[in-house]
Amino acid sequence: MDNPFSNIETRQQPSDSIKVLFLCLGNICRSPTAESIFRKKAENLGLNNFVFDSAGTADYHTGEKSDPRSIEHAEKRGYSMTHLARQITSQDFLEFDYILTMDKKNFTNANALIPTNPKAEIKMVTDFCISKNYLFVPDPYYGNENDFELVIDILESAAEGFFAK
């Protein structure tokens, strides 16, 4: 298996860093969007002890850039997306502190992959949302512009709640 951290930008990682992996199905729409939003929010708050990455439960798009629609909508709100898609590995459960899933299916699939002695706590990313009652991040892949905007709305709300904690 390839180095699961080959995607993480090379930057200094303090020893007390909190590592967060976002998980969706294809790793080209929702989870790389989450990664970009949380990274920018952390930067804005002056928090440099976080490491963010993302992965998919499927390997359909391994090595590909994010969906151009996700990149376009994220950029309109000031988020930069440079992630290359990868599939989650068992090592991720040992290395990350949190695995935050976009929907219940990702959550169930992640739980089915847990190796012995995992470090990661698996949660729905929407557990952190501060506004509205978002229960999951809907898959926008076969959707329209509004669906891509909704993904960002939900993830911005989740990021706000996450850092407030």
Q: Are 24 and 126 in contact (CB under 8 A)?
A: no
Interface segment toward ligand 4NP; rule CB under 6 A; list 10-18, 25-33, 45-53, 153-161 = 25-33
Residue 92 among the catalytic residues: no
Q: Which of 67, 92, 103, 139 is catalytic?
A: 139
Contact call for residue 19 and ligand 4NP (CB under 6 A): no
- Determine, following the binding rule CB under 6 A, whether residue 4 of this chain makes contact with ligand 4NP: no
Site string for ligand 4NP, 86-125 (x = CB under 6 A): ----------------------------------------
Computed on alpha carbons and rounded to an integer, the radius of gyration of the chain in Å comes to 14
- Indicate which residue of 11, 29, 30, 127 is catalytic: 30
- Site for ligand 4NP contains 157 (CB under 6 A): no
Task: Measure the CA–CA gap between 101 and 23, rounded to whole angstroms.
Answer: 5
Tokens of 22: 């976002």
| Closest approach of ligand 4NP to the CB of residue 57, in Å | 8
25 binds ligand 4NP (CB under 6 A): yes
Q: Residues with catalytic annotation? A: 24, 30, 139
Residue numbers of the site for ligand 4NP (CB under 6 A)?
A: 24-30, 56, 60, 139, 141
